[in-house]
Amino acid sequence: PHAGRPAVAAGAMLKPPSPGLGRRGPPRSADSSPFRDDHLCLHGGCGDGGGRRPSASCAPLPLPLPRGAGGSGQSSAFARGGQRSAESSPHAAGGFSESPEVSPFRRRKAPARCHSLPALPAPKEERAEMARFRVFAGGGRQSAGDLPISALKKAEEYGRECTKHGIVPVSLDVAAKIILKQPTSKALVGDRQVAAWCAAGLLDDQSEIKLRDADVAEEGAKALAARPLERARSLDLANNAIGAKGATALGRARMPQLEALNLSKNGLGDAAVAMLLAGLAEAEAPRLLRLSLAENQISRAGQALGNLLGVQLKLHLLDLHWNYLTGEHAHGLFKGLETNLANDGSLARLDLSWNCLGNSGATQSMQSLARALKAECPLVHLDLSYNSLRAEDCGILGAGLRDNHTLLGLHLVGNSAGVDADGFVVSGDGGGPPAA
């Protein structure tokens, strides 16, 4: 550690520093050791006083004896191992104790090691164990024995991806849940975190991917779409901002086992929804059962929704509540519903509450819906609440339901319609605007 430092000249006189040198306040007592505050560590930073107090492992440079004090050559002021040598100490005649047990140098606990010296390398086994979990920011309940070797390799790959994207890895307990195929719940936050998981292949074996309210935007959706999620059965991206390009990429993603897709509260708009539905209609998700597009500002994508219903015959639930679908554009949706039912489709739940079906073209759309409901169809739940449907439009719907014996739940609150004592839909007293 002393390489390159000037050596002390042989035979030079070293004057002991004064008791009060380098400190504030009254001078130190005569029996105090000058090493406590006035010693300058030649290593440059081994103590806690700005490099002034030596540590137990700090070995000062050899100091010469005063002339006439006996001995020859340069004797070390301290013997190896930090022991004080009374014969070679230049301060032996200055009133300091020659006993190591009562030396004032040992009255204060010194730091464990000199910080300027390199740390000792960890044992090989410890380095290997640290390498396995160096990708995680914090510890968890999961231990090394609980994770298989394949999961540990994926974790290391995830650490490299985090370094590439400049992000901090999630903690071990959260990562272990994802690696061990347990449902995720806000474990990932942000596009770069999602991209790191996808690139490391940690979502390949997930059957349920929950990224609701996880700040996923366009790049995160693209990363999910680029990875072949062949085992994913449920993908929840609600309350994010995946954008038009992200929705388009998800529509073209290959997810052969996907059964549930939730993209509600993403503010997609008509163009993005049309691109998404075009991809889903091409049988990229042939086993799709549940699709939620609520609160996505949909107003003119009714025809794209109808095309999807005509192709995805296994679709069981379609949630479109709280959008801006008007009666004019909902006509294409109800035409697709007719096609779905004619081809032995399995749509059982349709939620169109809080839309604008009564604004324009409501009569034509209600006629299409009534034709679909006349036959024996698998639809068991229909929600048309708060659509401001007029009395004559509700009358058309009621006429179509007279011969229907499969619909179990019908919600018409917020429209000019009511239900009589026999359970039939009648116009008027529905809580909506008065009949024209």
Digit-coded pLDDT (tens) for 222-262: 999 999 888 999 999 999 999 999 999 999 998 899 999 99
Q: How far apart are CA 403 and CA 370, in angstroms?
A: 10
Q: Which residue has the higher pLDDT, 15 or 357?
A: 357
* 3 state DSSP class of 431: strand
The pLDDT of 14-39, averaged and rounded, is: 47
Say what the pLDDT of residue 323 is: 97
Say what the pLDDT of residue 93 is: 46
Q: If we measure between CA atoms, which residue out of 121, 120, 96 comes closest to residue 107?
A: 96
Secondary structure (DSSP) of 275-294? HHHHHHHTTSSTT--EEE--
Go through the chain and tell me how many residues it has.
Answer: 436
Contact 133, 172 (CB under 8 A): yes
Say what the pLDDT of residue 146 is: 58
Q: How far apart are CA 264 and CA 251, in angstroms?
A: 15
For residue 173, report the phi and psi dihedrals to the nearest 5 degrees. -65, -35
The pLDDT of 314-343, averaged and rounded, is: 94
Given pLDDT bands bounded at 50, 70 and 90, which one contains residue 214? confident
Say what the pLDDT of residue 16 is: 52
Percent of the chain with pLDDT over 70: 59
Q: How far apart are CA 163 and CA 410, in angstroms?
A: 54
Say what the pLDDT of residue 418 is: 80
- Two tokens at 378? 């698998």
Is 60 exceeded by the pLDDT of residue 126? no
User: Any bridge partners for residue 55, and if so which?
Assistant: none
Structure confidence by residue, pLDDT tens digits, 371-411? 999 877 889 999 999 999 999 999 999 999 988 888 999 99
Q: How far apart are CA 261 and CA 268, in angstroms?
A: 14
Structure confidence by residue, pLDDT tens digits, 268-311? 999 999 999 998 988 678 899 999 999 999 999 999 999 999 99
Say what the pLDDT of residue 314 is: 93
Say what the pLDDT of residue 76 is: 40
The separation between the first and the last C-alpha atoms of the chain, rounded to the nearest angstrom, is 96
Say what the pLDDT of residue 394 is: 93
Say what the pLDDT of residue 168 is: 79
Structure confidence by residue, pLDDT tens digits, 359-368? 989 999 999 9
Say what the pLDDT of residue 429 is: 53
What rounded mean pLDDT belongs to the chain?
73
Structure confidence by residue, pLDDT tens digits, 171-190? 655 665 555 555 454 555 78
For residue 107, report the phi and psi dihedrals to the nearest 5 degrees. -75, -25
Given pLDDT bands bounded at 50, 70 and 90, which one contains residue 165? confident
Provide the strand spans (E) within 116-213: 208-210
Given pLDDT bands bounded at 50, 70 and 90, which one contains residue 52? very low
Q: Which residue has the higher pLDDT, 355 or 90?
A: 355
Provide the strand spans (E) within 293-363: 317-319, 349-351
- Degrees, nearest 5: CA angle 193-195-199: 120
